[in-house]
Amino acid sequence: MQENRKYDLLSNINVTPLVDVILVLLIIFMVTAPMMQTGIDVDLPESKATAIPSKEERLVITVKRDGKIFINDYEVTLESLQDKLKGIYQNRPQKGVFLRADKNLPYGYIVKVMSVIREAGIYKLGMVTELEKTKAGTKEKPK
């Protein structure tokens, strides 16, 4: 005996696999996004100091080994640095920057850059360093 079964087509979309795929993609992008940031290579001095907590995003001024100066990723000259900083911070109440300088630069040049930053009216200056490495080659955990 053969039964006549009538099969109905389902017109509902199953969204569970779609949500699973979207969540996996979201996690992948969240993990890979920090790795995609490009920057300027600087050989930073090492320190045992811990990170400075900061509520607002500050500019990063980078001084490379060859003396080139960058505001975030944009190259500027020492002569134009003060005018650029004044223009950036003219309407901001909180004025602060982070300074990343190559450890092989002469101390006098770094002081000159710091004085130009101060002449621009910026008195909050954070120095960026790397954590000191232990003898085994791993970085020390902050205390």
Q: What is the pLDDT of residues 16-57, one digit of tens each?
A: 888 999 999 999 888 887 766 555 555 556 666 555 555 556
pLDDT tens by residue, 102-142: 888 888 898 899 899 888 888 788 888 777 665 555 555 44
Q: Are 41 and 125 in contact (CB under 8 A)?
A: no
| CATH code of domain 46-131 | 3.30.420.270
Domain extents in the chain: 46-131
pLDDT in the model for residue 20 = 93
HSE-up (13 A, CA, CB side) for residue 33: 6
- What average pLDDT does the segment 78-83 reach? 89
